[in-house]
Chain A
Amino acid sequence: MQLSIVWVLAQKELRDALRNRWFLLYTLAFIALSLAFSYLALAGAGMVGFAGFGRTAASLINLVLLIIPLMALTIGAQSLAGEQEKSTLAYLLAQPINRIEIFLGKYLGLTLSLLASLTLGFGISGLVMTLNGSGAADPGAYVKLVALAFLLSLTMLSVGFLISALTNKAGVAVGIGLFLWLAFVFFGDLGMMGTVIALRVPIDNLFWFSLSNPLQVFKMAAILDLRATLDILGPAGIYAVQEYGDSLFGIFLGVLVLWIVLPAAAAYARFHAKSDL
């Protein structure tokens, strides 16, 4: 594998993403909403103005849960299938380069574009808070939330790549991506609650069950980091803190990393075996 070729492809992917109007729209929406959330974070306390980093971080969790997976899933889903549909993938594969280089180049390029988008969104919001004099409260929590959001975006990017490798058309891939986004965001909670009630799942199983949804993992990790407790998540959260204590955050990080690596590896395996290009 030649890293120089991976980098050439990554740069191309990054340039394309920054020209992609959907990507720009997601980024602008994220910036606008993160500013609005940071402004409204104090409204519940009967105050008006920009809240500090810690409070804003808490309110941004829901925004991250909604927008970041949507953005990462859709751009991931378009990545390979979009090029296959336009026949540019076959032309690329006809060059003296390997499939792993194409895969890594695309993945790295989209990772960098997601990082750029998140940095811009969180950065502008953070800058406004700092200039407003309300940022001194807890910048560490804010930075950790950004890091967790980045990991979450990579989990969804990997899932998007897997969808893309399994399909041949960008429209179909994006459709499946949107369905999965809905499943992760909405049906995830409802489905879990329904399953727990119907099957009378024990608390320890409920905790492990919740790890099957990367959005839940991000949410628990972010709340744990902000509040040092998962009381807000009910008995399963209390059980998790009591059972795993200080290692709980590490477990969450590990699960997020697995959610990044496993779908990406499966996507590459499928892409490598793909013959109908």
Chain B
Amino acid sequence: MITFDHVTKKFGPFTAINDLSFTVEPQQAVALWGSNGAGKTTVIKSLLGLLHYAGQIRVAGLDAQRQGRAARKLLGYVPQELAFYDDLSTADTARFFAQLKNTPVQQVAAVLGQVGLAEHLAKPVRALSGGLKQRLALGLALLGDPPILVLDEPTSNLDVATRNAFLHLLDQVKAAGKTIMFTSHRLEEVEQLADRVLVLEHGALKLTCRANELAPRLGLRTQMKLLLAPDLIEGALNVLQRAGFTVRRNGVGVLVDVLADEKAKPIHLLSQADIRVTDFEVE
């Protein structure tokens, strides 16, 4: 569905994408993983024809540069930085983009309802919360029913509850048979949504793996906040340090640095030492 063939993009002396080749199959959800500056957003912008590059990108056989309009007709895009015309209402914004996509405006109400914006049609976009704006971006991307969704850090600015609700929406979109390509630096998001992960480093493909292989293959670490009764904190610090964890005191418990696929281990250890963990959060 999407093919990158030896794509290179340079900004002056800086190489943002370095001879990148990969394929995304139809109905597959592929995550682009990498640290800031790894080239994830440049990959997305090149796919959308926003940047000139060397090599070839094809979308369903169409050259993304030479047949840009036809290729973009197949892509729905949710940007990292949401940029709307703030004075327009939610419905007018959707109508405007529907007209640009040659999509019947009758489809607007259905799509906005699908992303949960039916009660916010008359609100100016500037009055929408971050989560609602993200839903609007998804709704606009779905206008015209494109077979491919491209999302750049779709939940980076959302709180936990809004993020979960948005991921649930994306799950539904994926289940409807869309091909999805998204960038992310959140492991739980990648594990929930992606079938395959492309790990980028300095603009080059470092690793391709299944989503559940990402954490062990990269040795990804995360930080857990364990909530404890005040009189148990000292004992918990001792137990976890003896087990080799990097741990420090927090006002209401302890912060533990763990491998991303071993999050249960510190809780299990504390449980064996009769130290009751009242709650936990994963950063």
Contacts and interface: CB of A to CB of B under 8 A. Distances in A.
A169 to B, nearest CB: 15
Contacts of A92: 100
A80 B49 CA distance: 18
Nearest to B46: A275
Interface string A166-207: 000000000000000000000000000000000000000000
B245 interface: no
A99 to B, nearest CB: 9
B87 interface: yes
A95 B97 contact: yes
B147 interface: no
Given A275-B51, A275-B52, A277-B50, A94 B100 contact: no
Contact of B50 (A5, A8, A12, A93): A93
Interface string B73-86: 10101010101110
Interface in A238-277: 275-277
B70 A96 contact: yes
B178 interface: no
A88 B84 contact: yes
A227 interface: no
Interface in B44-75: 45, 48-52, 68-70, 72-73, 75
A4 B101 CA distance: 11
B51 A91 contact: no
A105 B84 CA distance: 18
A90 B50 contact: yes
Nearest to B77: A94
A88 B52 CA distance: 19
Nearest to B103: A96
A21 to B, nearest CB: 12
A87 B83 contact: yes
B99 interface: yes
A258 to B, nearest CB: 30
Contact of A94 (B50, B96, B144): B50
Contacts of B87: 16, 19
B100 A97 contact: yes
A95 B52 contact: no
A16 B100 CA distance: 17
A55 to B, nearest CB: 42
A92 B84 CA distance: 10
Contacts of B75: 94
A94 B72 contact: yes
B96 A91 contact: no
A98 B70 CA distance: 10
Given A88-B83, A88-B85, A96 B48 contact: no
A87 B87 CA distance: 15
A8 B99 contact: yes
A8 B51 contact: no
A73 to B, nearest CB: 23
Which of B50, B87, B96, B97 has the largest count of A CB atoms less than 10 A from its CB?
B50
Nearest to A9: B100
A8 B87 CA distance: 17
A19 B85 CA distance: 13
A94 B52 contact: no
Nearest to A85: B83
Contacts of B84: 88, 91
B8 to A, nearest CB: 14
Contacts of B49: 93-94
A85 to B, nearest CB: 10
Given A8-B96, A8-B100, A19-B87, A96 B52 contact: no
Contact of B83 (A91, A97, A276): A91
Given A88-B85, A91-B84, A96-B100, 20 more contacts: A8-B99, A19-B87, A87-B83, A91-B77, A91-B79, A92-B100, A93-B49, A94-B50, A94-B72, A94-B75, A94-B77, A95-B97, A95-B100, A96-B70, A96-B73, A96-B101, A96-B102, A97-B69, A275-B51, A277-B50
Interface of A: 2, 4-5, 8-9, 12, 16, 19, 86-88, 90-98, 275-277
28 contacts: A4-B99, A8-B96, A8-B99, A8-B100, A9-B100, A12-B85, A19-B87, A86-B83, A87-B79, A87-B81, A87-B83, A88-B85, A90-B45, A90-B83, A91-B79, A91-B83, A91-B84, A93-B50, A94-B72, A94-B77, A95-B77, A95-B101, A96-B70, A96-B73, A97-B69, A275-B51, A276-B11, A277-B50
Interface of B: 11, 45, 48-52, 68-70, 72-73, 75, 77, 79, 81, 83-85, 87, 96-97, 99-102, 144
